[in-house]
Chain A
Amino acid sequence: MLCQECQTRQAALHFTKIINGKKAEMHLCDECARNKGEQIPGSNSYSIHELLSGLLNVEQVSGNNGFKTQETEEPKQPVCRGCGLTYERFAKTGRFGCAQCYQAFETKLDPILKRVHSGNYRHSGKIPKRTGGNIKVQREMEQLREDLRSRVEQEEFEEAARLRDYIRELEKKMHSGEEDA
């Protein structure tokens, strides 16, 4: 299909526009679309970071009723002690400055991460072997306790008892490990 604007190039963009209830079919080539200022849905005219900073800014704008008070007032926004990055700069660039930024902006992160990761905000993947030793055992314990609860609920008492003993054993091991260290 040819572009309805220039009638020379192949149309690459097909969409239906609805303005004030009126429907209009559009078939444009890339160039005419750009000239007409049509935003191509899903196209990369925006980088992921620009999109992301859009998400990050929503909260800021709505937080102060859209008034520009940032420059005149003493900034109340969080600042990372590790690298000096302000939340504002983070929101603008979509990048953290260092590992400590995650702590500095902690209170604001859950909604952002949920938006980016389909509702998830908590890591449940790999844990570093050398430095994450305790976290690993703790997470394993959590998982075991969860299993135990569901076994009890389902009245699978034999299996539940086995799990309980295993958890006790692990707890004992953990405590003796702490004493050694």
Chain B
Amino acid sequence: MSLQRFISEAISPWMKNEPGPDSDIVLSTRIRLARNMEQYPFPVFASQETAEAVLHHTAREFSSIRMQAGSSLERLNMDDFTLNEKRVLVEKHLISPYLAERSQFGAVMLSPDESVSIMLNEEDHIRMQSLFRGFQLSEGLDFSNKLDDWTEEKITYAFDEKRGYLTSCPTNVGTGMRASVMMHLPALVMTRQLNRILPAIHQLGLVVRGIYGEGSEAQGNLFQISNQMTLGKSEEDIVEDLQGVVTQIIRQERMARDALMRSSRTYMEDKVFRSFGILKNSRIMESKEATERLSDVRLGIDLDLIKGISGNILNELMILTQSGFLQQYAKKELRADERDMRRASLIRERMELEKESGE
């Protein structure tokens, strides 16, 4: 049962790669391309027969692609999964909520390290996303372009000279590209500077969201910054603009961290170690508190206050302690209070594990 690992492992193999540039602040970089085929209606209004034909056509083509070391993509049909299993895939960012809940004949093709995920019959026929550790926008764009060129050899895209790549929703037309960067910004939140920065970001045609995308709240001081506009600018320009803004925010966050450490080192240490202690000892842990405490611990690791623990702990436990994952481990539906207990014990176990391997 090889497919089982996609829903049993919280941390995708690609997240264990080398941390990547600026990984003390940028957790990951993601590029997503929306593409449609010329000859079929778009999935939102498509009939069952059309959706099935689209799935066959696209899955057949993508099955011949070879990733690094000659590996191929694995296909997961949404109809083969339980609701909770799909929730887990969403929590891991491998599929979108739309694909999980509303697609017909929806599927995802995943690379073995889960860094490439190609959704089929999402809002658009094809949504390709590739994920990278740290701040790697131009590398991400390069890779996405190659994947796109490969696909275009096999599949005739819906493309219009004036409007670009045609998509189901007018907000994606043009490049069909969404480039986004996941940032951990605890110091800017603590010093209340982020509220000043956010309006400026919006004015530059960029958008800031929580970690689960559109409509999600910011959890654990994690923010996803991406381009809003897809039409009228080239992919390179969009990426360059995003690159510039993110570089600025990284600088600001570093300065805020330095300033906090200089002016209130003991308070910072207290905050970090208090959260560390609570995570290691508590028996009931609500999701909101967990994400806040985990953010503190991650900050402690990045400030070199806490040693011997992998920085991955934030990414990993953020995903692992979501309700879908908790229920997947428990192999049953859990009430909210049961989830809080399981969350606490899972975090404690994970901390213990770190201590053994760290010392």
Contact = CB atoms under 8 A, between A and B. Distances in A.
Interface string B208-239: 00000011000000000000011111110010
Contact of B235 (A83, A98, A120, A126): A126
A120 B233 contact: yes
Given A96-B168, A98-B42, A118-B205, A126 B173 contact: no
B174 A44 contact: no
A122 B169 contact: no
Contact size class for B? 35 or more
A95 interface: yes
A16 interface: no
Contacts of A126: 145, 148, 164-165, 175, 234-235
Interface residues of A, number: 37
Contacts of B234: 124-126
A83 B165 CA distance: 18
A73 B230 CA distance: 37
B215 A125 contact: no
B157 interface: yes
Contacts of A117: 174, 229-232
A121 B173 CA distance: 10
B27 interface: no
Given A97-B42, A98-B42, A135 B170 contact: no
Chief secondary structure at chain B's binding surface: loop
A85 interface: yes
Contacts of A17: none
B173 A135 contact: no
A113 interface: yes
A15 interface: no
B41 A125 contact: no
A130 interface: yes
A21 interface: no
B170 A122 contact: no
Given A112-B170, A129-B152, 19 more contacts: A52-B169, A85-B45, A94-B170, A96-B170, A97-B42, A99-B42, A99-B166, A102-B166, A102-B173, A116-B231, A120-B233, A122-B162, A126-B145, A127-B159, A128-B159, A129-B149, A130-B152, A131-B159, A135-B161
5 contacts: A83-B41, A102-B163, A121-B232, A125-B174, A125-B177
In the A-B complex, the 10 residue pairs with the smallest Cβ-Cβ separation, listed nearest first, are: A120-B232, A123-B164, A99-B158, A117-B231, A44-B215, A98-B41, A125-B175, A125-B234, A97-B45, A83-B41
